[in-house]
A and B are shown apart, each in its own frame.
Chain A
Amino acid sequence: MSIVGLDEDLPVTPRHDVYPTIDPKVHYDGQTFKGKVVLVTGASRGIGLETALSYARSGASLVLVSRKQATLDDSKNAIIAELPKAEVITFVADVTDVQKSEEAIKATIKRFGKLDILVANAGAARPMDKPFASKDPTGWWNIFEVNVRGVYNFVHFAIPELLKTNGQIVIVSSGVAQLRIPTASEYCTSKFALNRFAEFIALEYPSLRVFPVHPGVIGTELNLATDAPVPAVDTLALPAATFLYLTSGKANWLSGRYISAPWDLGEVESVWKQKIVAQNGLVSKLSIPK
C-alpha cells in the first residue's frame, strides 16, 4: 500500500546511526555545552534519556522532566553513574498540565539561574489498528493534548527565560507529519501541527532558534506500542547526536524548518541549503498545482 506523503522528503543519503557530520565526540571532548542548562521532557526513557545523557556528556546541566519520580531517579542515576560530576535535577510533571509546566521552568531557574535549551520530547501515540471513528474520541484528543499542548506548555513558560539567554528549542516531531497513515490520524495530525507551531516560534521570537526534528524510526517503548508497520531501523544515538549538532550553532539556517535526523545533514547543507533558504523549503505549504 502506498502511503500519501512519502515523497515529501529530501532525496539525500539516509543515515541510521551517528555519522561524521554529527559525531558528538567533538562535543564530549570540547565540552561544548558546559555552563548550559538543558531541560528535557519525556526524559525518563527512550529518546529523552539518550538526549539527556548526550548533553550531560557534553558538559550541560540537566533538568529531567517526566511523570514518575521513580523512573526519573533511575535516569538521573544512570547519568551520575557515568558522569559523577554532572549537575542533574528532576521534576515530576505531566506536560499537559499548565501549572506543572510553569513550575518546572521555575524550578529550573531556581536551581540553575537560567535556561538555554528546551528539548520538548514527551510524546504519546495509540496503537495504529482501527479507523478513528471506531475508537475512543477522548483518546484521539489525548494524543493532541500530549503532543501539541504538552509542547506548547513548556515552550510558553520557557520562552521568557530563553529570550534572556538567546536560547534554543528542539521539538521532537515525526516524519509522520507528512504521512497520511490510515488508523494514525491523531498521531500524524498532531505532529503535522507541531511543524507549523515551530514556524510561529521562529516568527514571533526571532532571537531564538527552534528545530522540529523527526528523530528516525527507533524501537522505543512508544514506537513498539503503536504496532506501526514501519521497521525500526534507526538508533537512539542518531537523534541525540542530531540535537547536539543543531544546537551547537552549526545549522541556524534550519531554524523554523522541519528536519529529519535520517537525512545526512552534511549533504543537506552542501547540496540543498541555498535552495531551501531561497524557496523557503522544509515548511508545509498548500500545494498549488503547476
Chain B
Amino acid sequence: MPPAVGEGPARFELRPRRGRCGHQVTRAVGPDVAAEAAARSPKRPARGSRRFEAAGRWALLALVTLLSFATRFHRLDEPPHICWDETHFGKMGSYYINRTFFFDVHPPLGKMLIGLAGYLSGYDGTFLFQKPGDKYEHHNYMGMRGFCAFLGSLLVPFAYLIVLELSKSLPAALLTAALLTFDTGCLTLSQYILLDPILMFFIMAAMLSMVKYNSCADRPFSAPWWFWLSLTGINLAGALGVKFVGLFIILQVGWNTISDLWHLFGDLSLSVVTVGKHLTARILCLIVLPLTLYTATYAVHFMVLNKSGPGDGFFSSAFQARLSGNNLHNASIPEHLAYGSVITVKNLRMAIGYLHSHRHLYPEGIGARQQQVTTYLHKDYNNLWIIKKHNTNADPLDPSFPAEFVRHGDIIRLEHKETSRNLHSHYHEAPLTRKHYQVTGYGINGTGDSNDFWRIEVVNRKFGNRIKVLRSRIRLIHLVTGCVLGSSGKVLPKWGWEQLEVTCTPYLKETLNSIWNVEDHINPKLPNISLDVLQPTFPEILLESHMVMIRGNNGLKPKDNEFTSKPWHWPINYQGLRFSGINDTDFRVYLLGNPVVWWLNLSSIVLYLLLGSIFAVAVQRGARLPAEVEGLSQVLLQGGGQLLLGWMLHYFPFFLMGRILYFHHYFPAMLFSSMLTGILWDTLLRLCAWSLASSSLARGVYVVGLLSLLLGTAYSFCLFHPLAYGMVGPLAQDPRSPMAGLRWLESWDF
C-alpha cells in the first residue's frame, strides 16, 4: 500500500483530468497506444517512465486483487457447518445435481452456478442441508464456498477499476479498494454459499463494462467498443438471472444508454443513419442479447430439472406433466368427469394450490365450528374429493350402474374422501375476507343438508356439455346463497396450518381465484387416455414460472409483533444478521458492516450532496472556476453522479417493497456508496491541497489525509475481523471477550 500512496499526488499535478475518452490507454495495452497518448499531451514524461508507470499500475492492481483474495479465502472452511441461508442455496445446488424440480422465488442462474461449482468440485448432492448448524462432515462443501468467495473477491478489483476509470485518480481507486477489502460485511457475505456474491459480481461487472464502454465512446464500432457493449449486456443478463434486484443495474445502464443516445442524437454532425446504427447496436447488445441469455438460463433450468420434486404443486397441472416421477407424467387418466370419480381440484390462479380439507375445525369465534376447508400447495391425500349426485347417496361405483357423466350445469355434492364430509357453505363470514362466506366441511358420512349443493359450470361452455379433466375451467356455484367457490390467496393463521383461505364470494366478478380445474381423476369404470396433448410450450412455462415467482415474492410478508429489518436501518449499520451461533460456546459469525467504513460512507453521501450542489449552483450561476477546480468538479459531478445514481437505484426501491427485508439486501448499494466515498475524499483532499498555496504543504496535507484514511480502515478491520472470521468464547458484554468494548451500538448482538 504505502508506495502507491506516495506516487499519487505527484501524478495529479501533471495529468489533465476530465474527458470521457482516451484514458483506457493509460493502462496501456501496447506501446503504440501509449505513444499516441504521449503525443497528445506534450507535458507527459517520456515513454520510458510511462512504461514504468504502467507496470506500477499493473503491480498495484495485482496487489489489490491479491489482498482481496487473501482476505476472502482466509479460513473459508470455517465453520464446517451450515450457516444461515446456505441451507436454502446449498440445498438448491443439490437439487440441480440430483435433477429434481424445486421452486424458489429467485431466478435460477445463481443456484445453477452453485450447483455447477459443486458438481465440478466433486460434491455428489447427497447432503440434505436441513437446517443451519448441521455439520458437513465428509461432504465436499468447499467447492461451492470457494466459487462464491472467488466471485466475491473479484468485487474489489472491479471497484478499483471502475473508480480509476471514472476519476482517473489512483489514490481514489486505492481508497475504494481498501474500504471494500476491509469491510467485514462484504467479507462475510462472500464466504458462504449464497446468491449475494454472485449477484454483486454481475452487478459490478456490468458497471465496469459500462464505464469501460463509455470511455470508448470516441471510437464507436471499434472492436473494444463492441466488446464492452456486449459484455455489459451479458452481465446484465447475469445480474437479472440471479435475483430480480438485478433490475436496478439494468435501470442504471438503461439511463446511461438513453442519455448517451440523446447526446448522439443532438450531435448534428452525425447523420440520422449513424444515429440509427448506434441505436440498433444498443438494442442488439443491451436488449436482445441479455433477453436471449436470460431465456437460455431458463431453458437450461427446465432441461436439467426433469424429475419430480418438492416444487411440483406450485405449478399448474399441465406443467407437472413434464416432470418424470410426477403422477401426471406420461399418465393416462379418464377424460370426462363422471359421478363417483375421485378427483383433486386445483385453483387456476398460480400458486394457490389444491382444494383441501383436514380433520381440524375452525376455532371458536371464527364462523361456524365446522371442519376447515383450505387450499394447499403440496400433494396430499387430503386433497382428494369424490363427486356425488346431490340427491342420492348410493355408491356410484357400484358396477351394476353404468358410468354417468357430470355435465355443465349439474347440481353436485363434493365429498371429502378422507373424512367423508361435504363441501359446505353458509351465511357466516369467512375467517379473513369478511365480506365473503365461510366454506366448511359438513355432514357425517356424506349426509348433510341443502347447503352442500353446488352447481358445476364450465366457463364459456353451453349447458349439457361434459366436463373434461385438466382442460375444462370450472366454477362451483353454491346453490343456496348463489356465491362462487374461490380462494382469496390469504394465508390463514396458525390454526389453519398457514394454508390459504377458501371462501365463497358473493361477487360474481370473473377472476382466476374462483376458477378451478380437475387434476387427478380416478374412476375405474372409464377408459383412460394419454395426457401428452397437454405439453405446454416453452414460452408458457417461462411465463408461468415468472408468475409463480412473483407471487412467491409477494407472499413473503413480515408478521406483526416481529422485529423486522427496515431500510433505514441499513446505511447506519443499525443491526447485523446472525450467520451462525448464538451462545458463548458456539462458533459465532455475525454479518455486520465494518462500522468505520459504513459511517464514513454515510457521511460521504451527505458531504457529496453538499459539495455537489455547491458546484452545480456555481456552474449554473456561471462562476468561472480555476482549471484545476473545474476538472475536479467534473469528476465529482459526472463520475460521482453515476455512482450516486447507482446507490439510489439499489437502495430506495426497498422502501416501496412490501415483502420482508433483510440487512444483506443493502450490500449492492453499499458497493456503490464505497466507490463514491473513494472519489469524494480524493476530490476533497485535492481541493484542500489546492487551496493551500505552498506546494509542499499541499502535498503533505494530501498524503497525510489519504494515509490516515487508509490506515484507519485497516486498523478498524483489525478490530472487527472476528465478526467475519468467527468468534468463540464469551459474548461481547463480557470483559473477557475479544470483542469487549467493540459493541458500539446496543442493537448489535454479538
A binds B: no
- Chain B residues near A (Cβ < 8 Å): none
- Chain A residues near B (Cβ < 8 Å): none
